[in-house]
Amino acid sequence: MAQRTLARYLTEEHRNKGRIPADLKFLIEVVSRACQAISIAIGKGGLGGVLGEAGSDNVQGEAQKKLDVLSNEILLEANEWGGHLAAMASEEMDLPHLVPNRFPKGEYLLTFDPLDGSSNIDVNVSIGTIFSVLKSPEGADLSTAAAAEQAFLQPGTAQVAAGYAVYGPTTLLVLTVGDGVAVFTLDREQGQFILTQEHVQIPADTKEFAINMSNQRFWETPVKRYVDEMVAGKTGPLGKDYNMRWVASMVADVHRIMTRGGIFMYPMDSKMQAQGGKLRLMYEANPMAFLVEQAGGAATTGRERILDIVPDRLHQRVPVILGSRNEVDRVTGYHGN
Ligand code: AHG
Ligand code: MN
Ligand code: MN
Ligand code: MN
Instruction: Using a pLDDT cut of 70, give the percent of the chain over it.
Output: 100
Element (H, E) at 327: helix 325-334
Beta bridge partners of 33: none
- Positive or negative, the CA dihedral 160, 164, 165, 169 is negative
Domains and CATH numbers, the chain: 6-197 (3.30.540.10), 208-334 (3.40.190.80)
**59-97 per-position pLDDT tens digit:** 999 999 999 999 999 999 999 999 999 999 999 999 999
Question: Going by CA atoms, what residue is nearest to atom 18 of ligand 1?
Answer: 212
Binding residues for Mg(2+): 91, 113, 115-116, 284
Tell me if 10 sits within 8 A of 20, measured CB to CB.
Answer: yes
Binding residues for substrate: 116-119, 212, 278
What separation in Å is there between the alpha carbon of 266 and the centre of ligand 3? Answer: 12
Q: What is the pTM of this model?
A: 0.98
Strands (E), 188-269: 192-197, 208-210, 243-244, 263-266
- Tell me the pLDDT of the chain (337 aa) as tens digits: 689 999 999 999 998 888 899 999 999 999 999 999 999 999 999 999 999 999 999 999 999 999 999 999 999 999 999 999 999 999 999 999 999 999 999 999 999 999 999 999 999 999 999 999 999 999 999 999 999 999 999 999 999 999 999 999 999 999 999 999 999 999 999 999 999 999 999 999 999 999 999 999 999 999 999 999 999 999 999 999 999 999 999 999 999 999 999 999 999 999 999 999 999 999 999 999 999 999 999 999 999 999 999 999 999 999 999 999 999 999 999 999 7
Longest dimension (CA), the chain: 66
The span from the CA of 188 to the CA of 184, in Å, is 12
Ligand number with the minimum distance to the CA of 215: 1
Running DSSP on this structure, what letter comes out for residue 305?
Answer: B
Q: What number does the ligand 1 atom closest to the CA of 119 have? A: 2
Question: Which protein residues are within 6 Å of ligand 1, measured from CB?
Answer: 62, 91, 113, 116-119, 212, 248-250, 266
